[in-house]
Chains A and B, each alone.
Chain A
């Protein structure tokens, strides 16, 4: 169930700021995006974070392995990143983006609780992780590559 509630703009804003501040990656102008970059590759890896409380849902951040390598190297200022560092970097970015988007789901004094992020298994499809939830997708073209961010959400009355 896809909705147009305007979360996409906030997700894009938060994500761009996060990539800029944490890993010195900057968004491309539309005119700088090639037709090849418009098509998302199949070999993307993903980090996943769930939230509950005022709303239930989660966020998935998908990127290519090469992008994840650049992300970790830039974040940590190192020449070469270990697998643990790559996974940690991808998890931390989705944690930050989700943590700054989740307040949109706040209901009065009730807040959202972000759970620890993890790397999705190769067989795990985002839509299968969060069935029957509203979702929005944002694609961001950065100078180091393209990422897709999906947010899934519902109200507390509905089960995840």
Chain B
């Protein structure tokens, strides 16, 4: 994705978290953030996240680490093997202890948002990693 295009486009965001309450919290916070967002797609584990990525254009992934069936670390490993996927910005939304589980060295664009977070922190993190500005 060219940087110039990022400023114009509306984002399709994939929210991957096993807890529906957290998915709703993140989705609502993003919707209220005045960011240029088109679709917010939800997945409850890494496997479903990869399936959604195959079926939809995804510009940003907000990912939990601790998920059943396929966790976030495994999902990232699958993404690494796909040259198209590894360019998609990933914002890992997790508590402090899980950060150390995520190998970041060979990912192009990955960042962390620590829980707990405020709406402003989430908004800033999305802007920082995508380069988008307000809608």
Interface residues of chain A, those whose CB is within 8 Å of chain B, are 17-18, 20-22, 51, 72, 75-77, 84-85, 87-89, 91-92, 95-96, 98-100, 102-103, 111-116
Contacts and interface: CB of A to CB of B under 8 A. Distances in A.
B94 interface: yes
Interface residues of B, number: 23
A91 B19 contact: yes
A59 B67 CA distance: 18
B2 interface: no
Contacts, number: 76
Contacts of A84: 20-21
A96 B115 contact: yes
Given A18-B116, A114-B66, A116-B66, A99 B94 contact: yes
26 contacts: A21-B118, A22-B25, A22-B115, A22-B117, A51-B97, A75-B21, A76-B25, A84-B21, A85-B20, A85-B24, A88-B20, A88-B22, A92-B19, A96-B116, A98-B95, A99-B94, A100-B114, A102-B97, A103-B96, A103-B97, A112-B97, A113-B97, A113-B101, A114-B97, A116-B18, A116-B68
Interface in B12-44: 18-22, 24-25, 28
Given A75-B21, A99-B96, 15 more contacts: A18-B115, A22-B115, A22-B117, A51-B97, A76-B21, A85-B21, A88-B19, A92-B25, A95-B115, A98-B95, A98-B97, A99-B115, A100-B95, A100-B114, A114-B66
